[in-house]
Amino acid sequence: MAKQNEPLTAQPPDQRPLTGSQASRLASLTGLNPKELSGLSVAQIGEKFRWKIDPEILFFRRICGRVVKLDPLTGDELPVPFATVHVEDTDCSFLGFFPVENPWAWFFPIFCHREDIGTTVTDACGNFCVWIPRFEIDWILRLRRERICIPEVFVKPNLSDIIRFVEEAPVRPQPIPDPPPFVSKLTAQVRQRLEQTVGQKTVDRLIALEKSAALGGSSAQRQRLLASSAFPMGLTPPLSKEFHVMGSQPMAMDGKAKHADAVKHTLAARLNLNPSVVKDFDLARFVGPFFRCFDVIVPEWVPILDVPDITFRVTQDVNGDGTQEVIYSEGYFDVRWNTGNIPDVTLVASPIAIASRTCRTPDVPCADKPAIEFAGLMPLDPSFNDATSGYAVRPNRPHPTGLYVDPGPYPTGRAPYCNELQIYGCNRVKNAAYYRVRYQYTDPMGNTSPQASFKLSWSLHRFVAGVLQEIFTTFDADGWYEVLKASDNWFPDLLLLEWRTWESPDGLYTLTLEIADTAKNVIGTSASVGIRVDNTPPKADFTGLGWRYSDVGGSFTGLSLDCPVITRDSGRAIDIQVSYSASASSFRSVSISAGACGAGSSIAPTSDISTLQHWTTDANFDNSVSNSAIFQIPAGSLEGSYTFGLEADTRAFNPSGGDGGDSPLVEWNYNVVYKYKSSLLAVAVVNA
């Protein structure tokens, strides 16, 4: 079985014989006859045609990526383990759809020729790497450079591009990897527009990563999110009414066929094409959106023929019948070949794919003694977790100054756990046949319930003789699970529980591991470990609003929080006072900001920084804040909408390692955000 993050590989890439299309492409770049190259490997070609071919053209580029499946509830990317990634040499013809005054374009494939040029298998974390011949990439880039707009229109927008788009920057692909947008500079209006474009779940992940960023911390997660597809599930093209199926009743099969034929003939006639060229055209089979071309006037429908690309197809045995089913296909233009350092590609598999909820695991010691050792990747020893209170003591510590930037030293932290929690420990002891995890629940009011057993189920995976195997853990009426043998190679190993903590009420869970023999007699018990769960987001609300002229000062004139409008004298600066409150059972911080409506407008705080932000100074008692901040709109600022943003965070965290908290640099001494609340308040400012 493969180790974590170690992709399985087939034969060395330079030993693989060239396909027919590869031979033709290499011949076109070198001036050789394709027949001389067909069937030879790159290694053989390098030897046979030494001093006739530039050796650089026979180099390879390593392209890595991940296969993931989106969690329908959280939007998280779940790794797809042990899936086969097929790398394909592809030539396709498309009908390009460029709707008028739309920033995006779509493509409908009408003919494709594909040849498999290699395969690899994802590891337990869904990671894979493949080697692509340099001449393949050179061929793709040369063809695109020689054609107007092609370098732009065959680029899928990533999240970084969308941020620029909602900031009203030019909607064009970046030619090389450039610094990602400085997310913390996004105004409240931009964040709101971003949510409307890519969805709340994506923005939630972006904001959480931005809030968790720290000097010297890992930026891998943030950069990966910014480089990910803005529309991983595609975006339906806005087809004109002439292509819509008329009527509200379901159409019979013959009616659908007639409608499809009518569409094909209409397009063929409009584009002066032979109807046979569009025989495979299907309105339901589209790729996009992509960037569109603004350099030239583009008709709504355009045929684009023989576009080369390297595409991906992913298969996985999802039902255990020994046959692999397609879980990802038609991966056109997933890689930006024109970038210098090609970022990892993320392939989003269909809902039928088998996904794992865990891929990175700790090294769990097992010395023939029952023990609960880890929550996620974080040890549960006293230097990381208070076994009595159930709080993690290192993340999200209080700041004595009450400000976000604090020199320390910091008091001991009290960070509860949230989201999906993996509990690892030693259950593989002498004579062990079964184990169970018992818990005693104490609610936030201090009321304690009788001890009970967890009764949860989760999946385990292994890869045997090229076949993905999956089992789901089972338990009996008393919560006993079978102790699995190490030699069975199920992954993850020594996972005691996969606990979706949001399905349990908030509070303290005191966990104990029990070991039983074949007769289910208890033969060993671990020390108890407390785990405090808090999945409740904070409360954050605007409580008051007022304004005054800056040159007059004094008291503020109150405004309604519903559709507030300020009518001012033109050319006079005004102050706006915003009152707010925030609270949480595990409150960490709150901040207020303001954004102007565009060029020619500005707004800035004039009150002390302590009114603009607060970080808990005492995790036991400082769990609510009420304050007022003052902002000034200078004289000469334009009329328009000015937006205030309020953001509050809790101390809750998840130690799965996805946020970089396990890195040696921080050892969980870090600030991270999982549960937060954002509120927006827009104020219209008009001249009298």
Residue 217 has a pLDDT of: 61
Give yes or no for residue 249 having a pLDDT over 60: no
Q: Indicate the average pLDDT of the chain.
A: 87
Q: By mean pLDDT, which of 7-16, 417-426, 480-489 is the weakest?
A: 7-16
Give yes or no for residue 3 having a pLDDT over 80: no
Determine the average pLDDT of the residues in 669-674.
92
Residue 251 has a pLDDT of: 52
Exposure string over 287-319, b if 16+ CB within 10 A, otherwise e: bbbbbbbeeeebeebbbbeebbbbbbbbbbbbe
More confident: 246 or 45: 45
The pLDDT tens digits of the residues spanning 181-239 come to 444 456 666 777 787 788 777 777 777 777 777 655 666 777 777 877 888 878 889 88
The pLDDT tens digits of the residues spanning 364-411 come to 999 889 999 999 999 999 999 999 999 999 999 999 999 999 998 999
Give yes or no for residue 1 having a pLDDT over 70: no
**Number of neighbours of residue 450 by Cβ within 10 angstroms:** 6
Position 538 confidence tier, pLDDT thresholds 50, 70, 90: very high
Give yes or no for residue 472 having a pLDDT over 90: yes
The pLDDT tens digits of the residues spanning 141-175 come to 888 888 888 877 888 888 888 887 777 654 555 54
Backbone angles phi, psi at 146, to 5 degrees: -85, 0
On whether the 539-687 domain is CATH 2.60.40, my answer is yes
Give yes or no for residue 294 having a pLDDT over 80: no
Determine the average pLDDT of the residues in 319-342.
83
Position 247 confidence tier, pLDDT thresholds 50, 70, 90: very low
Return the closest-CA partner of residue 103 out of 201, 180, 193. 193
Determine the average pLDDT of the residues in 613-631.
96
- Please give the model's pTM, rounded to 2 decimal places: 0.80
More confident: 278 or 411: 411
SS3 242: helix
Determine the average pLDDT of the residues in 484-505.
95
Tell me how far CA of residue 451 lies from CA of 314, 438, 509, in angstroms: 46, 7, 10
Give yes or no for residue 476 having a pLDDT over 60: yes
Give yes or no for residue 359 having a pLDDT over 90: no
Instruction: Report the percent of the chain where pLDDT is more than 90.
Output: 51
Q: By mean pLDDT, which of 109-113, 418-422, 443-447 is the weakest?
A: 109-113
Domain chopping of the chain, boundaries: 13-156+234-239+283-348, 159-227, 371-533, 539-687
Report the alpha-carbon angle 103-105-109, nearest 5: 175
The pLDDT tens digits of the residues spanning 557-591 come to 999 999 999 999 988 999 999 999 999 999 999 99
Determine the average pLDDT of the residues in 602-617.
96
Distance CA 222, CA 199 (A): 17
**Number of neighbours of residue 467 by Cβ within 10 angstroms:** 14
Residue 209 has a pLDDT of: 75
Q: Exposed (0-12), middle (13-18) or buried (19+): which is 269, by Cβ within 10 Å?
A: exposed
Residue 9 has a pLDDT of: 46
